[in-house]
Structure 1
Amino acid sequence: MKIEATKITLHEMCFYAYHGVFAQEQRVGNHFIVELSFWADIAESLHRDELEETISYAEVYEVIKAEMAIPSRLLEHVVGRIAERLFATFPRMQRIALTLSKCNPPFPGEVQSAAVTLEASRS
């Protein structure tokens, strides 16, 4: 068997955080949803049932949780920080697709969420 790629996805990670341009957002906070897919060199985990052959989903979540706890004005800045820390923390991670959604953004009109998606690779 020739392995083309291995993708792991963490769906709908929910956080309450204080990201936003407006002072009200920074004081009151809001609900955010993070979606992460990452491609990694974890081929050995298909043959060996050992955690050290893959990337711990729990550890990935903790990295995202820590970055979400740091208030930022821009969603773009948050996804940039998360991406940099993921690549620094997990050497096996080769590529990511990361979406950060702000639920009920504070602007006129009915909008369920506003989101920023970043796709990045190690190289």
Structure 2
Amino acid sequence: MGIIKVKNIRVYAYHGCLVEEGKIGSDYRVDLTVKANLAKSAKTDNLADTVDYVHLNKIVKQEMAIRSKLLEEVAKRILDRILIEIPMVKKATIEVSKLNPPIGGNVAMVTIEMSKSR
């Protein structure tokens, strides 16, 4: 078993419960970890035998572009797609962070973390 991490995917999106968040948008950070058997790709040196992190990044960007009130809902959609579209992934963990959230204080980010296994 091996782990592939895609860290600090930066996205501008329009998530949040406030109407203003849907109009103004904010910066987000997504960190993704997937577990898969990487033994074959380590031997073959073939992209078709591993988890393509370009595909992972594409899923994140496409799902982050769909407005949601809660980060949990966005994270679930991303995890679902990863497990549907990339059969060799056994487990995926995602962190979705809203940078500088509008919560009435000097807060760098709020983060939700979710995992899903096959």
Structure 1 equivalent of residue 48 of structure 2: 52
TM-score normalized with structure 1 length = 0.93
CA offset digits 1:18-39 (Å, max 9, x no partner) = 0000000000000000000110
Summarize deviations over 1:70-101 as a string: whole Å, max 9, x none. Answer: 00000010001110011011000001110000
Q: Note if 1:118 corresponds to 2:88.
A: no
Which residues of structure 2 form unaligned runs of 5+?
none
AA partner of residue 22 (structure 1): L
- 1:43 Cα shift? 1.4
> Paired residues, what number?
118
- Counterpart residue type for residue 16 of structure 1: Y
- Which of the numbers 50, 60, 70 marks the counterpart of 1:74? 70
Q: Using the alignment, how far apart are the partners of 2:20 and 2:83 within structure 1?
A: 32
Residue 110 of structure 1 and its aligned partner are, at CA, apart by 1.0
Return the match for 1:89 from 85, 92, 111: 85
Structure 1, unmatched stretches of 5+, are none
1:7 aligns with 2:3: yes
Q: How far apart are residue 42 of structure 1 and its match? A: 2.5
Partners in 2 of 1:50 and 1:119 — Cα distance?
A: 27
State the superposition RMSD in angstroms.
0.7
Q: TM-score, normalised by structure 2?
A: 0.97
Look up the equivalent residue of 1:35 and give its one-letter code: D
Of 92, 95, 99, which aligns to 1:103?
Answer: 99
Task: Answer whether contact 2:68 2:74 (CA < 8 A) is retained.
Answer: yes
**CA shift digits 1:85-123 (9 cap, x unpaired):** 11011000001110000001111111100110002211x
Output one character per residue of 1:44-94: Cα deviation in whole Å (capped at 9) or x when no partner: 011111111101111111011100000000001000111001101100000
Where 1:47 maps in the other structure, the secondary structure is helix
